[in-house]
Structure 1
Amino acid sequence: MFSLPQSRRGSHETSLPLSKPDLERYRDRDCAAPRLSRRYARLALVALLSLLSFAFFHSLDPIPQPVAHTLNTTHEDVHPFPPLYEAWHARELALPQHNVDLPFPEGREGRYLWMSNHVHASGWGNAMQELLLNSYVAYKSGRSFVFDNYTWNRDGSDYTDFNGHLIPSRIPFSALISGPTVGGPFPDGDPAPRAVAKEYWDAVCPEPTIISSDEVTRTLEADASAETILEAWVARLNATEARCVEIARDSEQIFPIWVFGSKRVLDIFPGFAASPIMKNFAWSDLVQSALATNLPLVTPPSVWSSVLARLPLLQWLLPARDEAIPERLDGLLVLHIRRGDFADHCLHLSKWSSDWNGFNKWEGLPDTFAPPPGGGWGENTPENTALYMRRCYPTVDQIVERVEEIRRTRAGRGLRGVYVMTNAKENWIKSLRERLGEKGWDWVKSSRELDLDWEQKYVAQAVDMMIGERAQVLIGNGFSSLTSNIVMMRMARGMSFESNRFW
């Protein structure tokens, strides 16, 4: 039902081994090749060394500041509308587990869990954290997780107007991440059923049992932790004989934002991090290819490659770049700096004495935050508001001061360059780059300079996250779910506590 035609493959010519006469002929030809005399060889060597010396001393001159790529204009000229990711949707539909004839625990007798109440019209950070934990609930209950799309608009439209720009109403999750959550295999020996796409669920579960999340929520304390919520849901799902369970669309999310926004989320991490949901998590091929293309932006070049890069005629001397993405981007400091409408959000947080996101409040992290006393219902003191803005929406001066402070720490040893994850305008980025440049950083780059293709452009936040996840040191925003997810991923990867810092 869900099989797609296999793509045609081009024919490949096979090279036959050379015969002995052929080998003799090539050997004789090589031996007869003219050779340079020692004199000409010395002259060539002197010329080459002179050229390299010139290039080296020339390379000591200040390097002009990079100009941000005008990706939007180029893409709009070629593609007047955002991508719809048809190929990614097609690959999801072609997953091998979309087969009703498969034996239990998959196929027509399998057990499935569809959370139709998943978040929409939310930022990627909020959507990702819920997606992974929902997938974990399905895994713990022995059910196949039903995944949908990263959804901005549920009205069925292809595009949505967002601040005057068209964006895709839906992006397939497989264009953002890979692994068991979006249908990837579980490790050998793990009997868990694989995740399936919503379209397959519609076919294999035409009459699901619908459960309101209130059935479980009302049995819990108001401040129940994430692990307590997980255990309650696993018990509820295991208690029903229904093959196909749907969480009612109009009911509250299983893990509401109040859980992610507090330390209540932390106790689920040990089991979650040890599960295949996290251990087998990876970014999508689309995201990884974007970072592979932009590695020169976030990794320091060697002296030799810097010299040769200035000599087009000698480019052939450069070794082919290894496209493998390093597990850690040594020498790189990543800053997560939200601008624009985040100023209003930070003011709102101060008025309600809000706390940091849960995964930013691990015991052992060097930076902490507690809402200061003195605030009221929807209001706060000027001193408290200033503190919130410094920690949530720092000025350029405050950013530079904090960066230099972290640079002097043990975790900051060896830092050479800065990458700024930001939605700021280019003029603001330029002013920050100039100020940081005065402090002797080898390079300062930003999200605005990523070289992204048409499809990569709309998953750029995931590209930023992958860079932040692998940086030697991160300075993030404690109030941000995006930072919170990056810290969670860094902790799961075994990065040191000292390498995770906040404004």
Structure 2
Amino acid sequence: MLPLSRTDVPLGLHGKHDNALIYVRYFARRYLVLGVTGLVLFFLLLRILYVGRDVRPSPISDGNPSSRWPGRRLPPLYGQYHQYEHQLPQHHWDAPSHESEPKFFWIPGHSRGSGWGNIFQEVLLNAYLSHKANRAFVFYNYTWNDDGSDYSDYNGKPIPSRIPLSALIRGPIVGAPWPAGDPAPLAISEEYWHHVCGAKRRVIPRAEVHDHLPSWYVSDITKGWLDKLSTVDDQCVEAGSDGGPPYNWVTFGEKDAMTDVWPDFARSPVLTHLAWSPLVELGFDNNREVFAPTTVLEPPLSSIPATAPSAERYSMLPGLLVLHIRRGDYEGHCAHLARWSSSYLAFNALQGLPDRFAPPPGGQLGREHPGERADLHGALFPERAADRAQGGGGRARGGGAGAEPGACVCDDERRGRVGRGAQGGAEGHGRVDERGEQQGPGAELGAEVFIGNGWSSLTGNIVLMRQANGFRPESTRFW
């Protein structure tokens, strides 16, 4: 160890202090301090540069989530799917310049804190708008809240605060290639958008477009934004969040909002090449024998190439009847719908569907019509499920199945197979086995007959994909 002062210097072999040695020790100590300081500064600089490059949000600890929800199993956070999105080949994190990359479109005011059915409808239309504008869609997490926490509380239960979109769906919406011959740029993640566009984004205020629209129909909103985007050449364009996203609950609640745009939307690769994630399809494969037994030569859904169109991927499951019964919060929701004379949602009022709902005449917006709540109650609640499932009134017949179908009841609390020729309604299926809890949405998409709820966004998304995949309209019914 180097001496720290002259008095610390021991007597050498010559029996006197060596002044030359003192100077050597002095300079060695000085340069040692300078060297250590330089190394510290060097690593700090690397850290700053790294953080500037990689803007993925780091999880913020919730403290101890297990103590917040004692006795409950915490759901997964799907970190591997975040990592997959981060590593998409169109993300050139280390490129010295991004000028040669395509034009992007980001919608930061997208909805949060709502059910997946509502969010999914918005994601589809946001991606459709980006594709029409020939801009790369900036996809984002399914977000319950964005306060940085890992978990949120939903009616006393822990749920992930955000779920990567690739854990739920796959296809061009989440960065996969568009079908052959489609020159549209590949979608990018929100994190990559911030990496590339943080300092050079062009914000278009929502009001600048929506204040001049003739209606809140999808066709008018889409045309308004396309006209505006055609006048902007910036690489990084952002839809201002003043007033919310381009498509919101007002549009989705209007029965005629999809009418004009539907033929073009149905042909868009946003729908024709949409698929559920491998995680979801694995749940379907693991449980298919419960509700739709396969033949020996029938391959599992997860073995079909990812590039296969949705119509080939989710083909008909002969003899299967699927019922979607919404439960839990519809007592209060029924009163709300009656006050606003609500008809079926936009996705449940597509052309050709045989079932319609017309509110009783004479209603006033904001005030419940005396007869409408009774009509709505009959359509919303499962008391007449048995009649519909057996084809009562001619409503559930029309799927073309001559034999009695198997049935799968999907509700807010549990899902599973009723069995061949089911005679019971929503409460007639008894306990559902554990595997039935994991059933994937492929059953609803491929059912020979599907009966759902005209005011449900979950039903609406199933209806949308069935229609786009070429299922006969009369095979899709409402209570």
TM score, norm. by length of structure 1: 0.72
What is the percent sequence identity of the aligned residues?
A: 41
**3-state DSSP class of the match of 2:356?**
coil
Is the contact made by 2:338 and 2:369 (CA closer than 8 Å) also made in structure 1?
no
Match of 1:493 among 464, 469, 472: 469
Which among 312, 317, 322 is matched to residue 334 of structure 1?
322
Report SS of the residue matched to 2:400.
Answer: coil
| Counterpart residue number, 1:295 | 288
Distance in 1, Cα, partners of 2:419 & 2:105: 52
Change (3 A) 1:435 1:346: farther
| Aligned match of 1:389 | 377
The equivalent of 2:260 in structure 1 is 267
Q: Aligned residue for 2:412?
A: 423
Verify the 8 A CA contact 2:396 2:477 in the aligned structure 1: no
> Does the aligned pair in 1 maintain the 2:449–2:476 contact within 8 Å?
yes
Match of 1:129 in 2: 121
How does 1:247-396 map onto structure 2 within 5 Å? 247-262=239-254, 263-300=256-293, 322-324=299-301, 327-395=315-383
Deviations 1:213-232, CA, capped at 9 Å, x for gaps:
111000112x2421121111
* Corresponding position of 1:213: 206
Residue type of the partner of 1:85? Y
- Shift of the alpha carbon at 1:120? 0.6
| Structure 1 CA distance for aligned equivalents of residues 458 and 375 of structure 2 | 21
In 1: Cα distance, 2:268 partner to 2:334 partner: 35
Superimposed CA distance per residue, residues 15-48 of structure 1 (whole angstroms, 9 cap, x where no aligned partner): xxxxxxxxxxxxxxxxxxxxxxxxxxxxxxxxxx
Query: Could you tell me how far 1:194 is from its partner in structure 2?
Result: 0.3
Structure 2 gap segments, 5+ residues each: 1-52, 57-68, 303-313
Q: Distance between the aligned counterparts of 1:445 and 1:494, measured in 2?
A: 34
How has the CA–CA distance of structure 1 residues 237 and 501 changed in structure 2, closer, same or farther, with 3 Å as cutoff? same
In structure 2, the residue matched to 1:307 is: none
Matches within 5 A, 1:385-464: 385-395=373-383, 398-405=384-391, 406=395, 408-409=397-398, 411-424=400-413, 437-438=422-423, 449-451=434-436, 463-464=440-441
CA distance in 2, matches of 1:352, 1:153: 28
8 Å Cα contact 1:417/1:444 also seen in 2:
no
Secondary structure in 2 matching 1:252: coil
* 1:259 partner amino acid: T
- Which of 1 and 2 has higher RCO (CA within 8 Å, sep 6+)? 1
Q: 1:142 to 1:298 in 2, by over 3 A?
A: same
Corresponding residue for residue 20 of structure 1:
none
State the Cα distance separating 1:399 from its structure 2 match: 1.0
Query: RMSD across aligned C-alpha pairs, in angstroms?
Result: 3.3
Name the amino acid aligned to 1:346: C
- AA aligned opposite 1:323: P
Please tell me whether the aligned partners of residues 180 and 195 of structure 1 are also in contact (alpha carbons under 8 angstroms).
Answer: yes
Separation in 1, partners of 2:387, 2:463? 22
Q: Matches of 1:435 and 1:393 in 2, distance apart?
A: 23
Deviation at 1:362, TM superposition (A): 2.4
Q: Identify the residue that residue 452 of structure 2 maps to in structure 1.
A: 476
Name the amino acid aligned to 1:334. V
Check conservation: 2:405, 2:420, Cα contact below 8 A.
no
2:133 alignment counterpart: 141
What is aligned with 1:52? Answer: none
2:106 matched residue in structure 1: 114
Report deviation, 1:383. 3.1
**For the residues of structure 1 that align with 2:432 and 2:274, how far apart are their CA atoms?**
24
1:200 match: 192
Larger radius of gyration, structure 1 or 2?
Answer: 2
Q: State the distance in 2 between where 1:80 and 1:177 align.
A: 24
Structure 1 residues 186 and 435: alpha-carbon distance in aligned structure 2, compared to 1, 3 A threshold: closer
Q: Which secondary structure state, in structure 2, belongs to the residue aligned with residue 239 of structure 1?
A: coil
Judge conservation of contact 1:99–1:107 (CA < 8 Å) in 2: no
SS at match of 2:163: strand
Q: Cα deviation per residue 1:36-65 (whole Å; 9 max; x = unaligned)? A: xxxxxxxxxxxxxxxxxxxxxxxxxxxxxx
1:299–1:387 CA distance, 2 compared to 1 (3 A): same
CA distance in 1, matches of 2:419, 2:299: 31
Q: Given the alignment, which residue of 152, 155, 167 partners 1:163?
A: 155
Q: Report the structure, 1 or 2, having the larger helix content.
A: 1
| AA at the equivalent of 1:479 | W
Check conservation: 2:404, 2:421, Cα contact below 8 A. Answer: no
Partner AA of 1:336 in structure 2: H
Query: Structure 1 residues 368 and 336 mapped into 2: Cα distance closer, same or farther (>3 Å)?
Result: same
Aligned length: 398
Are 2:399 and 2:475, in contact at CA under 8 Å, matched by a contact in 1? no
Residue aligned with 2:106, SS: strand
* 2-structure distance, mates of 1:140, 1:355: 29
Q: Is the 2:407–2:422 contact (alpha carbons within 8 Å) kept by the matching residues of 1?
A: no
CA offset at residue 249 of structure 1?
Answer: 3.1
TM-score normalised according to structure 2 size:
0.76
- Once residues 355 and 274 of structure 2 are traced to their aligned partners in structure 1, the CA distance between those partners, rounded to angstroms, is 27
Distance 1:366 1:192 in 2: 36
Instruction: Check conservation: 2:398, 2:475, Cα contact below 8 A.
Output: no
Structure 2 distance, partners of 1:352, 1:435, is 40
Of residues 61, 76, 84, the one that matches 2:77 is 84
Q: CA 1:228–1:448 in structure 2 vs 1: closer, same or farther (change >3 Å)?
A: farther
Question: Alpha carbons of 1:497 and 1:332: their partners in 2 closer, same or farther (altered >3 Å)?
Answer: same
1:396-440 residue CA offsets vs partner (Å, 9 max, x unmatched): xx11112112455463533421111101479xx99xx69984469
